[in-house]
Amino acid sequence: MLNSRHLFGIPPSLQSAYKFNTTVYVPLIVCNHYYVTSKSKDTCIILDSNITGILHYTKSDNSTEQFKFNISGYADGSCQQTQYINISFNSSVGLTNSSLIIYFKRRNDSFQISNFTLTVNFEQKLNATEPRYIYLMDEHAELDVSTSIDEAYKCSEVILSFRGGSTINLHNTRLIAYAHFNTTEFPGNQEYDICQLDVRTSDLVPIVVGICLAALVVIVLIAYLVGRARAKRQGYASV
């Protein structure tokens, strides 16, 4: 927060009669845009996502603790044959000098996530049995993040599952690897491959709308028939 006084246009002799207290708030910008560049300054990986996690760890009394945390930091990585992005971060819940690494592999004309690890350093207040721990990818993790080289991957939620039940959640994700961009941003004409989760959700919308319209037609028809039957009974009664 910055406090400043600006008395522009007021003579110095009269400035003491005026009191200004202008408060300027400097916003704290959460970093959710990550990229990796090569030695030639080409961008090979871009990841836009709000990243959260649920972590399980063992305390010194052998009890298991779980807590949620956010990931916001800076990224580096590699643009070599096996590309990866390394996001380094700290967390106010008690994690310091920690990192999330996501590895990619190229297969023909497509790329996909091949592996991921989470390395955390627990602060003493968390009372963890091991101050440093490496979480490895669950062998049953679903690696459905895959698309062609020319397209970027887009999904409302991507879940990275680790052994022991810990997870990393990537929300509102846009991702591309093995790219050759001369900018660190997605091009305006970038094409996207939408994940199956969002495709199923978008398919449900017209189905739900159709069911609602059909139900409305049935209700109107029933109301019409009931009204017509009542009108007939009233006609007979008047005769």
User: pLDDT tens across 65-91, in order?
Assistant: 999 999 999 999 999 989 999 999 999
Domain count, the chain: 1
214-220 mean pLDDT: 68
31-35, 56-60, 131-135, 213-217: range with lowest mean pLDDT: 213-217
- With the C-alpha atoms ordered 146, 149, 154, 160, is the resulting torsion angle positive or negative? positive
Residues written for the chain = 239
Q: Which carries the bigger pLDDT value, residue 105 or residue 4?
A: 105
Is 109 among the domain residues?
yes
Residue 183 token pair:
């900018």
CA dist 204 to 153, 198, 201, Å? 21, 10, 5
- The span from the CA of 174 to the CA of 194, in Å, is 10
The kind and range of the H/E element at 226 are helix 196-238
What value does the mean pLDDT of the chain take?
A: 81
What pLDDT is attached to residue 57? Answer: 96
Q: Which residue has the tokens 């202008």?
A: 22
Confidence of residue 25 (pLDDT cuts 50, 70, 90): very low
Residue 110 clears pLDDT 60, i.e. is over it: yes
Is 228 among the domain residues?
no
8 Å CB contact between 68 and 17: no
Confidence of residue 108 (pLDDT cuts 50, 70, 90): confident
What range defines the domain where residue 107 resides? 32-194
Is 160 among the domain residues?
yes
Is 12 among the domain residues?
no
Is 214 among the domain residues?
no
Greatest Cα pair distance, the chain, in angstroms, is 101
* CATH number of the CATH domain containing 124: 2.40.160.110
Is 26 among the domain residues?
no
Is 239 among the domain residues?
no
Q: What is the DSSP letter of 193?
A: E
Is 232 among the domain residues?
no
